[in-house]
């Protein structure tokens, strides 16, 4: 109740000071148009923004306080603000470098890039490097249970708080290095999601183009089939199929992960099918397709040489979004315990295994970092991809106003 | 008016047909299990006689089609079968009436609906207001910050949001409980407080999408002549948007709200697991883990039905709100 009460008081205070701010502005600037014509909402926004900024600054200062009770409480905000500033600077430098280095084309690209997009590109690059070179970068193996090392070492590497400088991010509940597992997680989670998306695009794209080119009954059957599959919520359907697949996998000895890739690819290919069919239908009516048909070209030529190159732009943006979606679905499945199976290191599973540490945040904030690191790794990548896709869509559509 | 009624009836019939086909898909999927239920229940060391008895009990000796109609008939009359876990419980501990799947699901379904309604009650007004504000102050700092925030919260996984909220609102500042232990006979305010944190998580995920769509739907209209006209009359921008743009943008907004409520149904699974909320999503995941097929099947059908129903509602509402769709040429 007290929370509601203090929120209400803050709101009233901001409302009042917004009015005051505009009044004072008018008075001080001799009724300049900027203040005279300022809508109340804008004044409110300014004051709210200033209050929020001041609050963040104060919270950041408190996170540096020497009193552990206060510092612990604001530790996570401090980390978040540090991360935000660090990434902003990194994205800015990355964009600056991009504007100076490279060919004319890439330089032009970087010049028009908003900071969010350059942040996205930077993060995607980092993840790609981590995923490809995981074996070289990671100090330990992903399923290596380190002998003679305590389990549940706290991240941070400070021996006084139960850390160990050799393991900057600590160890998990059976004594595996968390940093190595996070790095391998990039390879497994991202790699599997990428493969699944590729497969989904292959299935959905080729069937969609086929439906667009052939039309008639084939189109009807495929489209209605897709309609039915899309009527079932995808995560629910995936869970149902995973139940069945888990029985098959234990019977046939094929890893469950293979089934997961197939199931999610099929479910997701329905969305790709819709887009590919719509795009394909717009292209099929073009004259050059007619010309190719008259030349007597085969179906394969039509789809891959004529339609595909002209459908790349929308499909590429869709690829980013689909990848995010698949990635989140896989993470959710793993989090629920039916996705990527141990001993493969995977972020969703890591979150589930270490989730209970959150409850120690008040006394040992660094212990609570472990689940958030893995969950944050997932969030960071999807946010980055979304930023890039948003920018691509904005560029290609030239959104209204 | 008769015209509208026919359209609605058509949509309803289409929805029912979809549901029927979906039930067939689910049934076929479940029947792709290797072996059959009887072996699954009894495990590896089953004697052939025991397998045979159970097979007859469950009616597995009948043909696929008659089994399907039996199952469908059961579903329609509210008999969702008996869960394997309960069956095991009964045979091992003897006696006692085990709960049927319907009895297991009913209270949990009510809990989930409660959660969804709390979420909708918070999310819809907030999203529409913020969307209108973002359209009003488009291309300002507010719009850009809102854009970054919504993009981030759309793309983060639900459990990340959930844990961040737990961290800040339950652990560091103990305002709300992080576990939603809801039981029968709780009074409303207690229930509300306990389910507020999961509802807030879902709100964060859903609001972002609805807000972006509201903004886009309104901005789409701003180039139309009648908006120009209203502006030239000297109306305030707020009035232009609320009075002239909003009613015309209603159809896509209603559509996206309904779609997001449908999305809630999927999102609810993960969130319920994080907060140990006794809803249908948690039951579903637990049953998936122990391969309790009858429960999985029933939950899946319920989720699909709710999903189809919400999509149908979206369709019908957007037809009703848009005269152009009401009188097709």
User: Mind telling me how many Å the CA of B56 is from chain A's nearest CA?
Assistant: 22
Q: What is the CATH number of the domain that holds A260?
A: 1.10.3720.10
CA torsion, points A129, A135, A138, A144, in degrees to nearest 10?
150
Number of domains in chain A: 2
ipTM greater than 0.90, yes or no? no
Q: B224 in contact with A at a CB cutoff of 8 Å?
A: no
Residues A56 and A184 both lie in one domain: no
Residue A16 pLDDT > 50 = yes
Q: A76–B172: do the CB atoms touch at under 8 Å?
A: yes
User: Mind telling me how many Å the CA of B33 is from chain A's nearest CA?
Assistant: 6
User: Pick from A385, A377, A381: which is nearest to A348 by CA?
Assistant: A377
Among A63, A91, A109, give the residue marking a domain's end. A63
Pick the residue with more confidence: A387 or A253? A387
User: Is the residue at A210 inside a domain?
Assistant: yes
Among A63, A88, A106, give the residue marking a domain's end. A63
Nearest to B157 among A242, A361, A379 (CB): A379
Residues A199 and A331 both lie in one domain: yes
Among A63, A79, A108, give the residue marking a domain's end. A63
Alpha-carbon gap, residue A225 to A221, rounded angstroms: 6
What's the pLDDT at A399?
Answer: 47
Please answer whether residues A181 and A377 qualify as being in contact, where contact means their C-beta atoms are separated by less than 8 angstroms: no
Residues 6+ apart with CB under 8 A from A7: none
User: Is the residue at A274 inside a domain?
Assistant: yes
Between A and B, how many residue pairs show a Cβ–Cβ distance under 8 A? Answer: 178
User: Is the residue at A74 inside a domain?
Assistant: no
Alpha-carbon gap, residue A286 to B194, rounded angstroms: 59
User: Is the residue at A103 inside a domain?
Assistant: no
User: Is the residue at A23 inside a domain?
Assistant: yes
User: Is the residue at A387 inside a domain?
Assistant: yes
- pLDDT digits (tens), chain B, 329 positions: 567 788 788 888 888 888 888 888 888 888 777 666 666 666 666 677 777 777 776 666 677 777 788 777 877 777 766 676 666 666 665 555 566 777 778 888 888 888 888 898 999 999 988 888 888 888 888 888 888 888 888 888 888 888 888 888 888 877 787 777 777 777 888 888 888 889 999 998 888 888 888 888 888 888 888 888 988 998 888 888 888 888 888 888 888 888 888 878 777 888 888 888 888 888 888 888 877 778 888 888 888 888 888 888 888 887 777 776 666 55
User: Is the residue at A121 inside a domain?
Assistant: no
Residues A329 and A198 both lie in one domain: yes
Nearest to B307 among A41, A233, A379 (CB): A233
What's the pLDDT at A400?
Answer: 40
Residues A43 and A192 both lie in one domain: no
Question: Which residue range(s) make up the domain with A237?
Answer: 178-399
Contacts of B154 in chain A (CB under 8 A): 386
Q: Chain B 228-287, CB below 8 Å of chain A: which residues?
A: 236-238, 262, 265-266, 269-270, 273-274, 284-285, 287
Q: A240–B29: do the CB atoms touch at under 8 Å?
A: yes
- Averaged pLDDT, A25-43: 82
Nearest to B219 among A229, A379, A400 (CB): A400
Nearest to A45 among B142, B172, B297 (CB): B142
- Averaged pLDDT, A339-349: 81
Q: A231–B26: do the CB atoms touch at under 8 Å?
A: no
Alpha-carbon gap, residue A267 to A269, rounded angstroms: 6
- In degrees, rounded to 5, the angle at the alpha carbon of residue A9 between the alpha carbons of residues A7 and A14 is 95
For residue A162, the cross-strand partners are none
User: Is the residue at A212 inside a domain?
Assistant: yes
User: Pick from A301, A116, A81, A125: which is nearest to A213 by CA?
Assistant: A301
Average pLDDT, chain A: 84
Nearest to B285 among A3, A336, A358 (CB): A336
Q: B30 in contact with A at a CB cutoff of 8 Å?
A: yes
Nearest-Cα residue of chain A relative to residue B15: A231
For the stretch A300-340, pLDDT in tens is 888 888 888 888 877 887 888 889 889 988 988 888 888 78
In this prediction the pTM is: 0.85
What's the pLDDT at A203?
Answer: 92
For the stretch A122-171, pLDDT in tens is 999 999 988 888 878 777 777 777 776 766 677 766 666 666 767 777 77
Q: A336–B269: do the CB atoms touch at under 8 Å?
A: yes
């Amino acid at each position: 109740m007290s929370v509601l009460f203090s929120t209400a008081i803050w709101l009233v205070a901001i409302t009042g000071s917004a009015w005051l701010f505009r009044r004072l502005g008018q008075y001080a600037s001799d009724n300049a148009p900027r203040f005279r014509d300022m809508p109340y909402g804008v004044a409110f926004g300014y004051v709210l923004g200033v209050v929020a900024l001041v609050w963040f600054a104060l919270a950041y200062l408190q996170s540096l306080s020497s009193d552990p009770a206060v510092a612990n409480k604001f530790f996570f905000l401090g980390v978040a603000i540090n991360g935000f500033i660090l990434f902003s600077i990194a994205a800015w430098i990355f964009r600056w470098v991009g504007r100076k280095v490279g060919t004319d084309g890439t330089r032009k690209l970087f010049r028009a890039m908003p900071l969010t997009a350059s942040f996205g590109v930077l993060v995607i690059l980092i993840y790609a490097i981590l995923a490809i070179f995981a074996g070289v970068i990671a100090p330990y193996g992903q399923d290596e249970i380190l002998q003679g090392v305590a389990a549940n070492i706290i991240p941070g590497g400070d021996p006084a708080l139960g850390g160990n400088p050799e393991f900057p991010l600590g160890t998990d509940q059976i004594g595996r290095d968390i940093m190595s597992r996070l790095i391998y997680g990039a390879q497994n989670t991202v790699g599997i999601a990428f493969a699944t998306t590729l497969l989904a695009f292959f299935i959905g794209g080729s069937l969609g183009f086929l439906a667009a080119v052939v039309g008639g009954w084939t189109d009807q059957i495929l489209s209605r089939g897709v309609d039915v599959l899309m009527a079932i919520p995808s995560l629910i359907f995936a869970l149902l199929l995973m139940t069945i697949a888990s029985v098959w996998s234990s019977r046939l000895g094929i890893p469950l992960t293979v089934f997961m890739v197939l199931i999610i690819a099929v479910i997701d290919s329905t969305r790709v099918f819709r887009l590919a069919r719509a795009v394909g239908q717009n292209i099929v009516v073009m004259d050059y397709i007619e010309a190719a048909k008259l030349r007597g070209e085969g179906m394969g030529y039509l789809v891959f040489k004529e339609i595909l190159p002209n459908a790349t732009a929308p499909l590429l943006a869709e690829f980013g979004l689909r990848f995010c979606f698949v990635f989140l679905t896989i993470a959710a499945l793993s989090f629920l315990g039916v996705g990527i199976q141990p001993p493969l290191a995977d972020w969703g599973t890591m979150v589930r295994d270490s989730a209970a540490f959150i409850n120690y945040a008040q006394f040992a904030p660094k212990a609570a970092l472990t689940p958030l690191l893995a969950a944050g790794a997932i969030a960071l990548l999807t946010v980055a991809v979304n930023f890039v896709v948003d920018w691509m869509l904005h560029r290609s559509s030239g959104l209204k106003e | 008016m008769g015209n509208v009624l026919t359209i609605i009836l058509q949509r309803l019939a289409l929805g029912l047909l979809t549901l029927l086909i979906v039930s067939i898909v689910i049934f076929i999927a479940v029947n792709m299990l290797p072996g059959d239920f009887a072996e699954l229940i009894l495990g590896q060391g089953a004697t052939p006689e025991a397998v045979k008895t159970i097979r007859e009990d469950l009616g597995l000796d009948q043909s696929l089609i008659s089994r399907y109609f039996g199952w469908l008939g059961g579903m329609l009359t509210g008999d969702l079968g008996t869960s394997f876990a309960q069956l095991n419980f009964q045979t091992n501990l003897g006696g006692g009436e085990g709960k049927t799947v319907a009895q297991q699901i009913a209270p949990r379904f009510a809990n989930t609906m409660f959660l969804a309604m709390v979420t909708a009650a918070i999310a819809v007004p907030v999203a529409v207001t913020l969307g209108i504000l973002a359209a009003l102050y488009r291309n300002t700092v507010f719009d850009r910050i809102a854009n970054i925030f919504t993009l981030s919260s759309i793309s983060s996984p639900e459990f990340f949001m959930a844990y961040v909220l737990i961290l800040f609102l339950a652990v560091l500042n103990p305002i709300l409980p992080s576990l939603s232990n809801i039981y029968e006979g709780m009074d409303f305010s207690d229930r509300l407080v306990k389910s507020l944190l999961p509802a807030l998580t879902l709100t964060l995920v859903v609001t972002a999408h609805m807000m972006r769509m509201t903004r886009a739907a309104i901005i789409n209209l701003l180039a139309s002549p009648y908006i120009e006209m209203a502006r030239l009359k000297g109306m305030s921008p707020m009035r232009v948007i609320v009075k002239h743009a909003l009613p015309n943008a209603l159809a896509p907004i209603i559509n996206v709200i309904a779609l997001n409520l449908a999305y809630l149904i999927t999102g609810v699974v993960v969130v319920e697991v994080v907060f140990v909320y006794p809803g249908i999503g948690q039951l579903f995941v637990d049953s998936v883990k122990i391969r309790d097929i009858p429960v999985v099947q029933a939950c899946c059908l319920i989720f699909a039905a709710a999903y189809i129903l919400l999509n149908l509602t979206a369709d019908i509402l957007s037809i009703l709100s848009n005269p152009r769709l009401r009188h097709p040429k």
